[in-house]
Amino acid sequence: GQQLNQSPQSMFIQEGEDVSMNCTSSSIFNTWLWYKQDPGEGPVLLIALYKAGELTSNGRLTAQFGITRKDSFLNISASIPSDVGIYFCAGESGGSNYKLTFGKGTLLTVNP
Amino acid sequence: ETGVTQSPTHLIKTRGQQVTLRCSSQSGHNTVSWYQQALGQGPQFIFQYYREEENGRGNFPPRFSGLQFPNYSSELNVNALELDDSALYLCASSSGLAGGPEYNEQFFGPGTRLTVL
């Protein structure tokens, strides 16, 4: 099935460092979403972006909806050990013909 | 407020069998979506139900079918199971349709781990 191009695939960083990950698509989306998934759990929504060019923050997280509507990035500032997990981007389209397409994920490891 | 719940948590089936997975929506939500997540991959959208009607479908064959009930809970049925159907099946609930006035983003359940032998 289709998945978005998400990079990097994995990151290993020191506590306190900033992190950046991004997602690209060949398709246009109405909404870009960023999720975090911990082992044994479902994804949890971090940030939702609804307009091209929109820049949104949620605490130490900042995400942007690309102008072309085909890309998005997520930044995490001053990482802490509990940031460990898998981060997924997702592009949403529809209304009456709904689809949510996920990236393959970025595995983040934070070394205390 | 009760979150999204799924049952069973784990399930083992053999190839060719049929399986039914269940999902209870978060209180107040009338839309349910189902996803298949293979190991090491992102979730793949299977379909969405809004007020008991299918409202979008991903690239899955017809042997993947679903139902939504008047209380907005949902079932995912998979017939003629194949080895590649082994995955985590996630259910997510939300309100309304994407882009609509009552819409809020999806909340995911913990998933059902299906193993097909």
Q: Is the pLDDT of residue B1 over 60?
A: no
| A contacts of B105 (beta carbons < 8 Å) | 33, 45, 48
Q: What is the DSSP letter of A21?
A: E
pLDDT in tens, B25-65: 998 899 999 999 999 999 999 999 998 999 999 999 999 99
Mutate: best of A2, A3, A100, partner B, most B CBs <10 A: A100
Question: Residue B20 has what pLDDT?
Answer: 98
| A contacts of B50 (beta carbons < 8 Å) | 98
Separation of alpha carbons B41 and B115, rounded Å: 16
| B contacts of A98 (beta carbons < 8 Å) | 33, 48, 50, 55-56, 97-98
CA B53 to chain centre: 14
- Residue segments in chain A with a per-residue pLDDT below the cut of 70: 1, 95
pLDDT band at B97 (very low <50, low <70, confident <90, very high): confident
Q: With contact defined as beta carbons under 8 Å apart, do A5 and A58 qualify?
A: no
- The amino acid sitting at B45 is F
| A contacts of B41 (beta carbons < 8 Å) | 3, 104-105
Nearest CB to A98: which of B35, B41, B56? B56
Question: Residue A32 has what pLDDT?
Answer: 94
CB atoms within 10 A of CB A104: 18
Q: Is the pLDDT of residue B103 over 80?
A: no
What is the average pLDDT score of chain B?
Answer: 93
Question: What are the b/e assignments for A17-55, b being 16+ CB within 10 Å?
Answer: eebebbbbbeeebbbbbbbbbeeeebbebbbbbeebebe
Please tell me the distance in Å from B58's CA to the nearest CA on chain A: 7
Q: Is the pLDDT of residue B101 over 80?
A: no
Contact: A42, B109; criterion CB under 8 Å: yes
Helices (H) and strands (E) in chain B, counts: 0, 11
Mutate: best of A33, A98, A106, partner B, most B CBs <10 A: A98
